[in-house]
Chain A
Amino acid sequence: MSVPDRNIGGELLKVDNISLSFGAVRAIIDVSFDIREREIRAIIGPNGAGKTSMLNVINGVYHPQEGSITFNGQERAQMKPHEAAEQGIARTFQNVALFRGMTTLDNIMTGRNLKMKSNFLSQALYWGPSRREEMENREFVENIIDFLEIQAIRKTPVGRLPYGLQKRVELGRALAAEPHLLLLDEPMAGMNLEEKEDMCRFILDVNEEFGTTIALIEHDMGVVMDLSDRVVVLDYGRKIADGTPDEVRADQAVIDAYLGVSH
Chain B
Amino acid sequence: MIYREAGQFKTSYEADEAIFPVRQDRVFVIGLLVVAFFVIPVIGNDYWLRSVLTPFLIFSLAALGLNILTGYAGQISLGTAGFMAVGAFAAYKLSTGIPELNIIIVFILSGIIAALVGIAFGLPSLRIKGFYLAVTTLAAHFFIEWTLTHFGWFTNYSTSGVISAPEMVLFGYTIESAESRYLLALSIVVVMTLLAKNLIRSELGRAWMAIRDMDVAAEVIGIPMLKTKLLAFAISSFYCGVAGALWAFIYIGTVEPQAFDINRAFEVLFMVIIGGLGSIYGSFMGAAFIVLLPILITNIAFAFGANLPAEVLTNAQLIIFGSLIIFFLIVEPYGLARLWQVAKEKLRLWPFPH
Closest to A159 in B: B213
Q: Which residues of chain B are near A174, meaning CB under 8 Å? A: 221
Q: Which of B13, B196, B213, B224 contacts A102 (CB 8 A)?
A: B213
Among A16-24, A118-126, A189-197, A239-247, the one that faces the other chain is A118-126
Residue pair B224, A82 in contact (C-beta under 8 Å): yes
Residue pair A97, B17 in contact (C-beta under 8 Å): no
Q: Which residues of chain A are near B129, meaning CB under 8 Å? A: none
Q: Contacts A82-B223, A98-B217, A173-B221 given; indicate if A113 touches B195 (C-beta within 8 A).
A: no
Q: Which residues of chain A are near B207, meaning CB under 8 Å? A: 110, 113
Among A31-39, A86-94, A199-207, the one that faces the other chain is A86-94
Query: What are 24 A-B interface contacts by the 8 Å CB criterion?
Result: A61-B216, A85-B221, A85-B222, A90-B221, A97-B214, A98-B217, A99-B212, A99-B214, A100-B213, A100-B214, A102-B210, A106-B209, A113-B207, A118-B203, A120-B199, A123-B198, A123-B203, A123-B204, A124-B196, A124-B198, A126-B202, A135-B14, A142-B13, A173-B221
Q: Which residues of chain A are near B214, meaning CB under 8 Å? A: 97-100
**B288 lies within 8 A of chain A by Cβ:** no
Closest to A60 in B: B220
Residue pair B202, A134 in contact (C-beta under 8 Å): yes
Q: How far is the CB of A172 from the nearest CB of chain B, in Å?
A: 12
Q: How far is the CB of A189 from the nearest CB of chain B, in Å?
A: 17
**B206 lies within 8 A of chain A by Cβ:** yes
**B231 lies within 8 A of chain A by Cβ:** yes
**B278 lies within 8 A of chain A by Cβ:** yes
Q: Which residues of chain A are near B346, meaning CB under 8 Å? A: none
Q: How far is the CB of B11 from the nearest CB of chain A, in Å?
A: 13
Q: How far is the CB of A126 from the nearest CB of chain B, in Å?
A: 4
**B235 lies within 8 A of chain A by Cβ:** yes
**A231 lies within 8 A of chain B by Cβ:** no
Q: How far is the CB of B170 from the nearest CB of chain A, in Å?
A: 23
**A52 lies within 8 A of chain B by Cβ:** no
Q: Which residues of chain B are near A109, meaning CB under 8 Å? A: 206
Q: Which residues of chain A are near B23, meaning CB under 8 Å? A: none
Residue pair B278, A101 in contact (C-beta under 8 Å): yes
Q: Which of B195, B209, B224 contacts A99 (CB 8 A)?
A: B209
Q: Contacts A59-B220, A82-B219 given; indicate if A124 touches B209 (C-beta within 8 A).
A: no
Residue pair A101, B213 in contact (C-beta under 8 Å): yes
Bound: A116/B17 CA distance, A: 17
Bound: A84/B224 CA distance, A: 12
Residues of B in contact with A (beta carbons under 8 Å apart): 13-14, 17, 195-196, 198-199, 201-204, 206-207, 209-210, 212-214, 216-225, 231, 235, 278
**A208 lies within 8 A of chain B by Cβ:** no
Q: How far is the CB of B218 from the nearest CB of chain A, in Å?
A: 7
**A223 lies within 8 A of chain B by Cβ:** no
Residue pair A113, B221 in contact (C-beta under 8 Å): yes
| A63-114, CB < 8 A from B | 80-82, 84-86, 90-91, 93, 97-102, 106, 109-111, 113-114
Bound: A139/B207 CA distance, A: 19
Closest to A133 in B: B203
**A29 lies within 8 A of chain B by Cβ:** no
Residue pair A120, B210 in contact (C-beta under 8 Å): no
Bound: A120/B277 CA distance, A: 22
Q: Which of B13, B216, B222, B231 contacts A113 (CB 8 A)?
A: B222
Q: Which of B13, B199, B206, B218 contacts A124 (CB 8 A)?
A: B199
Q: Which residues of chain A are near B278, meaning CB under 8 Å? A: 101
Bound: A177/B14 CA distance, A: 22
Closest to B222 in A: A85
**A130 lies within 8 A of chain B by Cβ:** yes
**Listed residue (B199, B210, B214) with the most chain A CB atoms within 10 angstroms of its CB:** B210
Q: Contacts A61-B216, A99-B214, A125-B195 given; indicate if A120 touches B204 (C-beta within 8 A).
A: yes
Q: Which residues of chain A are near B222, meaning CB under 8 Å? A: 81-82, 85-86, 113-114, 177
Q: Which residues of chain B are near A86, meaning CB under 8 Å? A: 222
Residue pair A81, B206 in contact (C-beta under 8 Å): no
Residue pair B206, A106 in contact (C-beta under 8 Å): yes
Task: Pick the 4 closest A-B CB pairs, nearest first.
Answer: A85-B222, A99-B213, A123-B202, A97-B217
**A138 lies within 8 A of chain B by Cβ:** yes
Closest to A116 in B: B203
Residue pair A110, B206 in contact (C-beta under 8 Å): yes
Bound: A116/B213 CA distance, A: 21
Residue pair A138, B206 in contact (C-beta under 8 Å): no
Q: Which residues of chain A are near B231, meaning CB under 8 Å? A: 120
Q: Which residues of chain A are near B210, meaning CB under 8 Å? A: 99, 102, 110
Bound: A174/B222 CA distance, A: 11
Residue pair B209, A81 in contact (C-beta under 8 Å): no
Q: Which residues of chain B are near A61, meaning CB under 8 Å? A: 216, 220
Bound: A111/B218 CA distance, A: 9
Bound: A137/B210 CA distance, A: 17
Q: Which residues of chain B are near A101, meaning CB under 8 Å? A: 209, 212-213, 278
Q: Which residues of chain B are near A100, meaning CB under 8 Å? A: 213-214
Q: How far is the CB of A29 from the nearest CB of chain B, in Å?
A: 25
| A10-54, CB < 8 A from B | none
Q: How far is the CB of B95 from the nearest CB of chain A, in Å?
A: 25
Bound: A94/B212 CA distance, A: 20
Bound: A90/B223 CA distance, A: 12
Closest to A127 in B: B198
Q: Which of B13, B209, B224 contacts A138 (CB 8 A)?
A: B13
